Structure 1
Amino acid sequence: MSYLLAIDAGNTRTKWAVLQYASGEILQHGVLNGDDMPAAWQQCDRVAVANVAGPDRYTLLDQQLKPLGVPVRWHASTMQACGLSNGYAVPEQLGVDRWAAMIAAWQYYQRSCLVVNAGTALTVDMIEKTSPGQARFIGGIIMPGMRLMQTSIANAAANIGRALGVFQDFPLNTQDGVYSGSLYASAGAVDNLLQVLSEHCGHVVPCMLSGGDAVVLLPLLQRHVLAREYNLEENLVLQGLWYMERELP
């Protein structure tokens, strides 16, 4: 039986999963800590990597993967993959993590949808179905993620501090105000793009969320009075890498 090691090297964390190559089932997954190679990696006979963390992370991962002695593919965004076309002005400049997440979401829904990655940055990407089995990425936004918003205001304004607040509908202290503001800003961006895409498509579209802050973002989105479909998928980029790997020789 063949196994794929998929690695999502982001700006904050490096996530990994071991997938059964034939089915895409995730057998084990985790977050890479330090230089130690997880024991689960030893069973894999191929590796697929999405790295948006730069050359230093590439060098580190390359050193960690060499002892496996198996083929390693460093994926990049392309003009087309898995029935999805890439409308970015320069397709290869689209972050490969966004591309992999969109591919996985398209395979899941097979209809127009919104794809959200709530990590260091918050990305909100729009997919339009063009025909049965075919879709295109028609645009998306990039903005600071929740922690980056909180850090930036703490660095730029006096007397804010770095103490963490909690979400409140009616914040009555600075820390809760900063945290609640960053959450409202993130949810507002997702909600606005969901409305834009739904109007463009002529019907309400579903939304797939992933990333470290998706779990705190989802409850606020679900409070919306209009019926909307949200799905939370922790390993969306890793699943997208499996689809991309399966399509290539």
Structure 2
Amino acid sequence: MSFLVIDIGNTRLKWGLYAQPAPGAELLAHGAVVLEDIDYLWELHWKNLMHKPQGMLGCVVAGEAIKKRVEEQLIEGWGLAPQWLSSSARAGGVVNGYEHPQRLGSDRWAAIIGARQRALKQDPANPPPVLAVMVGTAVTVDAVDQGGRFLGGLILPGFGLMYRALESGTAGLKVPTGEVQDFPTNTSDALMSGGTDAIAGAIERSLRRLRVQCGREPLLIMSGGAVTRLSHVEELPASVVENLIFEGLLTLAANASTPPAQP
């Protein structure tokens, strides 16, 4: 059965329609809309899809009003009952070490589960620790040890937030259009390079901590709408995954649809 996954972030809604609720399933269709255009999601994206989803799972951080507007289109268009992910103490091969597990953002939880599945796929018998990095409006850097325990992570401003803060709080500085340089010699390059180094530095420090914590080289996985701004950084030997949150959602959907083992 075809299955719909949805990630409602701070600025955009991303969706993917898969042939079945399982990691590695064929992607039948996908798209994204900015939240300002959320009311046109059905008319512009979903109305003419060849395959009607038989189920869905989504994560949302944008707030209750946005979620309700999406739910209305799912129900009115397909008669599809919305299912939204909530973080839990354990799911998808991950033990949630957050101080209050239910307060962990559902998008982070899905990305962490997706990253853990990548580690298990790399070496099922002895998976490496993994650092899951999502680069969007905000940047999250989350660590999972080799046993599947989520140790914790960072949240820091994304590129846009950093540059807008500089522009609004510093006279004469504008959002940069420059290039990343080792030693910038103009203001635009200096701003672009500073933002990149700030985020890359946080990731490097987290990698180092995870390496010390686990005594093994971690697997670094990066995803998100602005990940291309970091994928060129030589000090970050990352696997760039286009839809890490979707992979986590599909893992959870597959687990939910698997019948219990017979005694």
Structure 1 residue 6 and structure 2 residue 22: aligned? no
Structure 1 residue 81 and structure 2 residue 81: aligned? no
Distance 1:139 1:58 in 2: 27
Match of 1:109 among 114, 119, 128: 119
Q: CA deviation at 1:28?
A: 1.8
Question: In structure 2, what residue type is equivalent to 1:234?
Answer: E
Distance 1:165 1:55 in 2: 37
Question: In structure 2, what residue type is equivalent to 1:122?
Answer: V
Q: CA deviation at 1:70?
A: 1.9
Distance 1:142 1:77 in 2: 17
Aligned length: 239
SS in 2 for 1:248: helix
SS in 1 for 2:16: strand
Distance 1:7 1:40, change over 3 A: same
- Whether the 8 Å CA contact 1:88–1:138 is kept in 2: the answer is yes
Q: How much identity, in percent, do the aligned residues show? A: 34
Match of 1:40 in 2: 49
Q: Residues 222-237 of structure 1: matches in 2 within 5 Å? A: 223-224=234-235, 229-237=237-245
Distance 1:41 1:49 in 2: 21
Q: CA deviation at 1:41?
A: 7.7
- Whether the 8 Å CA contact 1:121–1:145 is kept in 2: the answer is yes
Per-residue displacement from partner, 1:51-92 (whole Å, max 9, x unpaired)?
011112112211221121123211111111111110111111
Match of 1:69 among 73, 79, 89: 79
CA RMSD of aligned residues (A): 1.6
Structure 1 residue 238 and structure 2 residue 246: aligned? yes
Identify unmatched segments of 5+ residues in structure 1.
none
Match of 2:26 in 1: 25
Match of 1:139 in 2: 152
Per-residue displacement from partner, 1:19-49 (whole Å, max 9, x unpaired)?
1215433222111352132233852111111
What TM-score does the superposition give when structure 2 sets the normalisation length?
Answer: 0.86
Per-residue displacement from partner, 1:86-112 (whole Å, max 9, x unpaired)?
011111110111100111111111221
Identify unmatched segments of 5+ residues in structure 2.
121-126, 258-263
Distance 1:17 1:154 in 2: 35
What TM-score does the superposition give when structure 1 sets the normalisation length?
Answer: 0.91
Distance 1:42 1:21, change over 3 A: closer
Structure 1 residue 189 and structure 2 residue 202: aligned? yes
Distance 2:81 2:64 in 1: 19
Per-residue displacement from partner, 1:156-201 (whole Å, max 9, x unpaired)?
1101023422222221221211111000101111111011101111
SS in 2 for 1:218: coil
Distance 1:41 1:9 in 2: 23
Match of 1:174 in 2: 187
After TM superposition, where is structure 1 displaced by more than 4 Å over at least 4 residues in a row?
none
SS in 1 for 2:232: helix
Distance 1:182 1:163, change over 3 A: closer
Distance 1:61 1:41, change over 3 A: farther
Question: In structure 1, what residue type is equivalent to 2:32?
Answer: V
Distance 1:41 1:55 in 2: 29
Match of 2:165 among 136, 144, 152: 152
Structure 1 residue 209 and structure 2 residue 222: aligned? yes
- Whether the 8 Å CA contact 2:87–2:102 is kept in 1: the answer is yes
Q: CA deviation at 1:118?
A: 0.5
